[in-house]
C-alpha cells in the first residue's frame, strides 16, 4: 500500500483483540462511501507523523495480545466506547471512556505486574550434581497468565466532552496509515518506548485498532497521546479543584485536535466533499455545507 494513498484504509478487525490476531481475523477495507462519516480524507500534504499505524502494537505477538485482552477484559465490555492500552517496560495500563446508566466516565485500569514479564518462562541449566550453570534459556507462555489488576479508577465527565473524545478516537483510528517508506517523510515512531494501542467498537464491524510509539511533537498522533495521558491523570486525581482544571485542559486539547483534523479535511474538500459535509453536520454546521454546494 502506498503511504500517500487516502482512498482507503486497511485495518484488522475482530470481536476482541485475541480474535483479531488469531487465524479467524479478517482484513476489512473501509471506504468512505461504505461507512460514511467514519473515514476522514486527509490531504496528502499532511505528513505521516500525523497518522496512527493500523492494527494493535505487537501485532505479530498473538498470544501476548490475547493475554492483554484477557487481563483487561473489563476495558472491552460493551460499555467501553473508546480505549487506549499502553504497553512498555513497566506495567501495562488501559485508559478509556465508558457509558454507564446514561452518564460518561473516564476510567483507568493498571496491572499489578507486567503482563509480558509474567508470561516469560525462564529455564536454567544444571550440571550432574545439581549445581546451576551460567546462562539460561527462556520462552514466552501466556496460556496460564494470572496477572492481577489494581482497582479501576473512574471520574465522570461532561457527555459533550465524551462525544468529542470518542469522535477523535474514531477519526484517528479510521485514518491510520502504514509508515512511509525509507527516504520519504519522517517516520511516526522513534525507539521502543511507550506503545499506545487505540481501539474502539464500531457497530457492525467490531473492534478497530491503531497504534503509535512515542509520537513526535506537534503532530496529531502526539496530540492524541497527550489527551489520553491527561485522561489517565484525571482518573487518578482526588482533588476537586484539580479535576476541574484537568477537565478544562482536556476540553481545550480535544478542541484543538478536532480543529487540526477538520482543517486537514477542509483542505481536501474538493475531492472529499461528502466526508467534509459529514464533519460539518457533526459540528452543527450543515448550513455551511449546503451553501458551498
What SS3 class is residue 195? strand
Residues 263 and 220 sit within 8 Å (Cβ to Cβ): no
* Count of alpha carbons within 13 angstroms of residue 255, beta-carbon side: 8
pLDDT block averages, 10 residues each, the chain of length 293 = 36 36 32 31 43 87 89 95 89 96 95 88 78 73 86 94 96 85 40 82 92 87 95 92 95 94 67 60 61 45
C-alpha grid cell for residue 237? 486525581
pLDDT tens profile 218-259:
899 999 999 999 999 999 998 889 999 999 999 999 999 998
For residues 159 and 238, give the distance between their C-alpha atoms in angstroms, rounded to a whole number: 21
Distances in Å between the alpha carbon of 19 and those of 56, 78, 198? 12, 16, 16
Contact partners, residue 167, CB within 8 Å, separation at least 6: 258, 282
Domain ranges of the chain: 53-280
The pLDDT value given to residue 31? 29
Predicted pLDDT at 184: 37
Q: What is the pTM of this model?
A: 0.70
How far is Cα of residue 19 from the mean position of the Cα atoms in its chain? 17
DSSP line for 60-100: T-HHHHHHHHHHTGGGGSTTEEEEEEEESSS--EEEEEEEE
What's the pLDDT score for residue 11? 35
Confidence (pLDDT) at 216:
78
Per-residue cell: 112: 499489578
pLDDT at 193: 73
**What are the b/e assignments for 113-123, b being 16+ CB within 10 Å?**
ebbbebbeeee
Residue matched to cell numbers 453536520: 281
Map grid coordinates 500525523 to a residue: 50
Q: How far apart are CA 82 and CA 228, in angstroms?
A: 11
SS (H, E, C) 241-291: HHHHHHHHHHHHHHHHHHHHHHHHHHHCCCCCHHHHHHHHHHCCCHHHHHH
Interior angle at CA 117, CA 114 and CA 123, nearest 5: 160
- Pairing type for strands 132-140 and 120-126 reads antiparallel
Q: What is the pLDDT of residue 265?
A: 66
Q: For residue range 56-86, what is the model confidence (pLDDT) as tens digits?
A: 888 788 888 889 999 999 999 999 999 999 9
d(CA 188, CA 177): 10
* DSSP per-residue letters across 134-189: EEEEEEE--TT----BPPPEEEEE-HHHHHHHHHHHHHHHHT--PPPPTTSSPPS-
- Which grid cell sits at 238? 482526588
Choose among 289, 82, 70, 109: nearest CA to 172. 82
Amino acid at each position: 500500500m502506498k503511504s500517500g494513498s487516502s482512498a482507503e484504509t486497511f485495518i484488522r478487525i475482530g470481536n476482541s483483540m485475541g480474535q483479531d490476531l488469531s487465524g479467524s481475523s479478517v482484513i476489512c477495507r473501509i471506504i468512505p462511501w461504505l461507512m460514511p462519516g467514519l473515514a476522514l480524507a486527509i490531504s496528502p500534504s499532511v505528513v505521516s507523523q500525523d497518522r496512527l499505524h493500523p492494527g494493535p502494537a505487537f501485532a505479530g505477538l498473538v498470544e501476548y495480545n490475547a493475554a492483554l485482552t484477557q487481563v483487561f477484559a473489563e476495558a472491552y465490555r460493551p460499555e467501553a466506547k473508546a480505549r487506549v492500552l499502553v504497553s512498555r517496560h513497566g506495567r501495562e495500563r488501559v485508559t478509556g471512556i465508558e457509558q454507564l446508566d446514561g452518564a460518561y466516565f473516564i476510567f483507568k485500569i493498571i496491572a499489578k505486574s507486567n503482563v509480558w514479564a509474567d508470561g516469560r518462562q525462564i529455564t536454567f541449566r544444571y550440571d550432574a550434581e545439581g549445581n546451576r550453570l551460567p546462562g539460561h534459556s527462556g520462552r514466552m507462555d501466556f496460556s496460564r497468565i494470572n496477572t492481577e489488576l489494581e482497582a479501576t479508577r473512574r471520574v465522570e465527565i461532561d457527555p459533550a466532552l465524551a462525544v468529542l473524545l470518542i469522535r477523535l478516537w474514531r477519526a484517528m483510528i479510521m485514518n491510520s496509515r502504514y509508515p512511509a517508506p525509507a527516504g520519504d517523510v519522517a517516520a511516526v515512531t522513534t525507539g521502543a518506548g511507550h506503545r499506545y494501542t487505540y481501539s474502539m467498537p464500531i457497530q457492525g464491524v467490531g473492534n478497530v485498532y491503531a497504534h503509535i510509539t512515542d509520537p513526535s511533537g506537534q503532530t496529531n498522533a502526539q496530540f492524541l497521546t497527550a489527551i489520553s495521558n491527561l485522561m489517565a491523570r484525571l482518573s487518578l486525581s482526588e482533588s476537586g479543584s484539580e479535576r476541574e482544571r484537568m477537565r478544562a485542559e482536556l476540553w481545550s486539547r480535544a478542541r484543538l485536535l478536532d480543529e487540526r483534523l477538520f482543517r486537514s479535511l477542509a483542505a481536501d474538500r474538493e475531492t472529499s466533499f461528502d466526508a467534509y459535509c459529514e464533519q460539518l453536520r457533526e459540528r452543527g454546521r450543515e448550513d455551511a455545507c449546503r451553501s458551498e454546494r
